[in-house]
Each structure stands twice: as structure tokens, then as C-alpha cells.
Amino acid sequence: MAINLFANQSAVALQTVQSIDNHSSRLQDQREAELQIRNTPDHAAYESISPMMKYDSATIVSVVDAIKQSKEQVEVAKTVVELTKGSLDTIEKLVISAYTKGAEDFSKIQDHIAEHVKDLSYAIEEAAISAGNIVANGGMKAKIPSSYRHEGLTVYVDSIEIGGPELNFGVLNIDGTIDMSKGILKNIFNTGTTTNFDATKVAFDTAQKDFQKLKDTLIQAKTHYATDPLLTHKVVYNDAQQAIDDNARNNEALNKAKAELKTIVDGISLVDFVKMRDVNQLSTEVRDILFESLQNNIQDSITATLTAEAKINSTIDLINIQPELVKTLVGNIDSNIRALVDINMDAQSARLSALQIQKQLSAQTLPIANQNTYHTLALSQK
């Protein structure tokens, strides 16, 4: 009985060891499965986030390239503005010289101005090929890439607006030419501005001659009046009084004719002025009005050009900031990608270490159980 009892106990012990081993194996398999289950969402998240970050990084690099191209475009516009400013300064000096030069130099001055205007128009047309949406868009604003941002699954490329009325150098035509008759250089390139000049000039000259005649009559009447202060000669007095009244009326007519002439002259562009002939035949008064208006128009164009230059410079300053900001953003994303890879690899390594430890513990459990079974069987045989 004792032997059977011990034999049964040994069998039970052996079954217990096998049961422990089987349970340990099942437990190991279960833990491996749980680890795989827990690992799956993390790995899936990594697999989805990492490519997205890499895509973001590549997209930002493209944005940086676009910003650089935008800067080049704006710098072309800046070159046009600087060239325009230089040409206008030279033209203004030529117009001013017309006040001091003799009549024989007027045609030469016109020829010099015509050369500068022609060079300026060519420069603007050439620049419009690469900067057309800035300097030749009729004053409309254009958008250029400036920065990049990512919100959720949506990618945004922010932009800034450049252009506008201050940078309106003309409108690009279908045939590639530029209509510069409107915009900030209309005082230079507008056409058909001398249509009514001859008529108003004749009216002014006539009014001025009439005024001069009455002025001479008034002086003569005053002289006669001075010789007869007691008004003994009624005719002399009446002549003097009539001359004063006529002079007042004709002075008003002269002022009106002058105002009309100035209105016409104020609208004369440089491209039309250089085509005018017989400028040396104009009266001194008409020439003075003409050159004064031309100088004022050039000054207005220079002021508009300076405004355009300031706007372009501020735009360039803004663009210069963007690549550095985007570069920093790219660096942050690359750093996050590396950190994400490191975290994922560390997690995988930790899980593998846990599995190895479990296998080692399981391997150590079976010999110990077998050793206890051996001692139990030996005891039962005694």
C-alpha cells in the first residue's frame, strides 16, 4: 500500500510538473500575444506618423524653394523701380536745364529725354516677363508662398500679398507689350495729351496780347490824368476810367485763359513732349508754364516710385525672414522623426528583453520540478 501510495504521489507530482510546464508555455504564448496586441497600435501609429512627418519635411523644402523664387521675382521688380528712379532723376535735370539753356538747345534736350524714356520702357517690358504679376498687373495684388503649417491631416501653405496700386507700372498685353499709359508712370507714358494744346496756347497768347494793349492804354491814360489832376479835361478822365475797367475785365479773361492752358499742359506726358516741335517758338510765358508742369509731373512720378521702392523693400524683408523660420520648422520635424524612431526602437527592445527573461525563467522551472519528482520517487522506493 505504501509503495502504491508513493507511486501515485510520484505520478501526481510528475503530472504537476508537466502541468506547470504547459501552463508556463501557455502563459508565455499569451503574454507574447498580449505584447503583440499592445505593440500593434503603437507600431501602426509610428508607421502612419513617421511618413507624415517625412512628407511634411519634404513639403516644407518645396515651400522654401517657392519662397526663394518669389524673392527673385520681387527683386526683379526692385531693379525696375531703382532703374525708373535713376532715369527720372536724369530726366528732371534735363527739364530744369531747359530754364537756363537757350532756345537752340530745346530740341537737343527733347532728344536726350526721348532716349531715357525709351530705355526705361524697354527695361520695364523686359522685367515684366519675370515679374509681370507684380509690376505689370494693372495694380492687382498677387500672392506668393510665405510659410507652411500643418493642422491635423490638412496641409496649409500660407502666402503674402504683394503688388497693388503702388506697384502698378502698367498692364501686360497679349502681344507681350506693356501699356504704361496708366498707373504710377502715366505722367511719363500717357499718349494723346497734346491734342488741345495748340488751341489753348493760341487763346492764351491772344488774351495776353489784348491784356498788354489795355495795360499800355491804362499807362497812357494815367499819364494824361497826371498832367490834369483837377480833372479839367473830362475826356482824359473818362479814358482813364474806361481803361481801368477794361483792364480789370481783360485781366480776368487772361487768368481764365492761363488756367485753361495750365490744365492742358499739366496733362502732357514726356513721350508726347519729346514729339513737340518748335518749342523754341513758344512765348516765354507758355514755355515757363510747360516746363514747370513737366517738372511737377516728374516729381510726382519720383514720389510714386519711392513709395513703390519702400513697399518692395518691406516685402523683401518679410520674405527674407520666412526661409529661416521654415528651416527651423524643418529641423524640428526632422528631430521629431528621429525621436519617434528612437522611442519605437526602445519599446521594441524592451519588449524583446521581457520575452527573453520569460523564456529563461520557464527553462529554469522545468529542471527544478523534475529534480523534486526524482526525490519523491526515490523516497517511495525505500
Range in 33-37, 200-204, 248-252, 327-331 with the lowest mean pLDDT: 33-37
Element containing residue 146 per DSSP (H, E): strand 141-151
pLDDT at 37: 40
pLDDT at 5: 38
AA identity, residue 75: E
- Mean pLDDT taken over the chain: 71
Judged against a pLDDT cut of 50, whether residue 330 lies above it is answered with yes
Q: Which of 238-242, 275-279, 327-331, 332-336 has the highest mean pLDDT?
A: 275-279
AA identity, residue 171: V
Residue bearing the bigger pLDDT, 119 or 128: 119
Q: What does the pLDDT look like over 267-276, one tens digit per residue?
A: 999 999 999 9
pLDDT at 380: 45
99 neighbors 287 (Cβ within 8 angstroms): no
Work out whether the CA dihedral 295, 298, 303, 309 comes out positive or negative.
Answer: negative
Cα–Cα distance, 291 to 297 (Å, whole number): 10
Output DSSP code: residue 105: G
pLDDT at 370: 52
Cell of 298: 516728374
- Per-residue three-class SS string for 147-186: EEEEECCEEEEEEEEEECHHHCCCEECCCCCEECCCCCCH
pLDDT at 43: 47
Judged against a pLDDT cut of 60, whether residue 298 lies above it is answered with yes
Cα–Cα distance, 166 to 116 (Å, whole number): 22
Cα–Cα distance, 190 to 272 (Å, whole number): 8
Judged against a pLDDT cut of 90, whether residue 197 lies above it is answered with yes
pLDDT at 115: 92
Cell of 141: 495684388
Confidence of residue 280 (pLDDT cuts 50, 70, 90): confident
What is residue 137's three-state secondary structure? strand
Element containing residue 293 per DSSP (H, E): helix 284-381
pLDDT at 294: 92
Judged against a pLDDT cut of 50, whether residue 229 lies above it is answered with yes
Q: What does the pLDDT look like over 31-78, one tens digit per residue?
A: 554 444 444 444 444 444 455 555 555 666 666 677 777 777 788 888
Cell of 122: 524697354
